[in-house]
Amino acid sequence: MTTNFALTRSFFHLPEGIVYLDGNSLGPLPKGAQARLDRVLEREWGEMLINAWNDAGWMDYSVGIGNRIGRLIGAAEGSIVVGDTLSIKLYQALAAALDLNPKRRVILSDTGNFPSDLYMAEGLIRASNKNLELKVVDPQQVADAIDDSVAVVMLTEVDYRTGRRHAMTALTERAHDAGAITVWDLAHSAGAIPVDLTGAKADFAVGCTYKYLNGGPGAPGFIYVAPDLIDRVRPALCGWLGHESPFAFDLDYRPVTGIERMRVGTPSIIAMAVLDAALEVWDQVEMADVRAKSLALSQRFMDFVDRHCPQISLASPRDPAMRGSQLSFRFPAGYAVVQALIAKGVIGDFRAPDLMRFGITPLFIGEAEIDAACQSLKEVLDREIWRQPQFQQQKFVT
């Protein structure tokens, strides 16, 4: 390994006495964020005022940060733009993909997609007044469901519930063979696993930056468009910052050449600055090293559970090639167990109906944290209370 994980860990503030296994939901605070914000507030906004848009490089964040993310997911320079939210970027990608395949009417997705993606697709279908259909199948059935009715295959690469990972390259190839276009959601991929958008010939991809990329709560989304497609895309959400000449204030929209046409309105510079500071740690990292450590830590966790926690069952695939960077276990009283773990300083999370999720984030988690979490998990699971009838039923949390 060339990545120094003691160094990467030093980039983060982690609370005393906490084992944080929820970096797949909200990454922890990068220590560099505060200094960056001091600069943006005091020196830039405070002193340069409106001139900071040009003089402090605010206009350049959207593409500059996109390139920083691009290195982690196999995207060419200038093929990613950052802004808005994942949901908005998904809408843009899906609308553009449908535009490129106008004779077909099916959007194919799966039940492992994050629901917001499905909701955004529903909204787009309704707004389009065309006879489009959202077809949602089980994750295992996606490959077989790709036929010549499918306009767009819209999938989240790594299932937020189980960590199950789709075979991006194979599914993209299958989609292309069937004449369909792909939209990949990388919410649980970027910074979690090596992704090669170029090698996979992905058409569109979107993602968020507040999970494994540690960009802060609600940090901006991003969108990737394959370089050979971007200038054929006419954005559905066409705001002034995607205009060829935004400060000409023309009455008619003319998209700028390249990825910046996927920009919409004015992005929060404060959010962008924190994200940019958070991404600095990734300049020290090789994704292959992150992946190797993630798999080793995950195996360590699974081995412990196999030996000591017979009460719970693994919901994630055992095959590392089929898995992202989280482990999920099923237990009827999963919600209560996660709460008990949090009380002991081990933070994972719970997804209805019975899934306990633990994110494996090697930048700041090592063997000691995994061992501590495992011990706590065993202690909690060994309590007699879970045998009581009220804990034999799943608790639905809404």
Which amino acids are annotated catalytic? 114, 185, 210-211, 357
Position among 266, 299, 375, 394 found at the interface with its own copies (CB under 8 A): 266
Does residue number 57 form part of the binding site for its own copies (CB under 8 A)?
no
Query: Does 123 engage in binding with its own copies (CB under 8 A)?
Result: yes
Q: Which is nearer to its own copies, 2 or 396 (CB)?
A: 396
* One residue of 82, 88, 192, 193 binding its own copies per CB under 8 A: 88
Torsion sign across C-alpha atoms 281, 282, 288, 290: positive
> What is each CA distance from 75 to 201, 250, 308, in whole angstroms?
10, 32, 42
Residues 213-242 close enough to bind its own copies by CB under 8 A: 216-221, 234-240
Nearest to 357 by CA among 379, 382, 335, 378: 335
Q: Is 20 in the site for its own copies (CB under 8 A)?
A: yes
Exactly one of 1, 7, 288, 352 binds its own copies (CB under 8 A); that residue is 352
Footprint on residues 378-397 left by its own copies (CB under 8 A): 396-397
How many whole angstroms separate alpha carbon 190 and alpha carbon 72?
Answer: 7
Q: Determine the interface stretch with its own copies among 165-173, 247-255, 286-294, 316-324 (rule: CB under 8 A).
A: 247-255
CB closer to its own copies out of 3 and 162:
162
What the block records as the tokens of 143 is 């490959």
CB of 387 vs its own copies, minimal distance in Å: 28
* CA–CA dist 12, 363 (Å, integer): 9
Provide the strand spans (E) within the chain: 12-13, 19-20, 29-30, 80-83, 106-110, 133-137, 150-156, 181-185, 204-208, 221-225, 313-314, 326-330, 346-347, 349-351, 355-359
Judged by CB under 8 A, the residue of 67, 101, 149, 268 near its own copies is 268
Determine the interface stretch with its own copies among 72-80, 260-268, 363-371, 384-392 (rule: CB under 8 A).
260-268
Alpha carbon distance 360, 221 (integer Å): 22
Number of residues that bind its own copies (CB under 8 A): 89
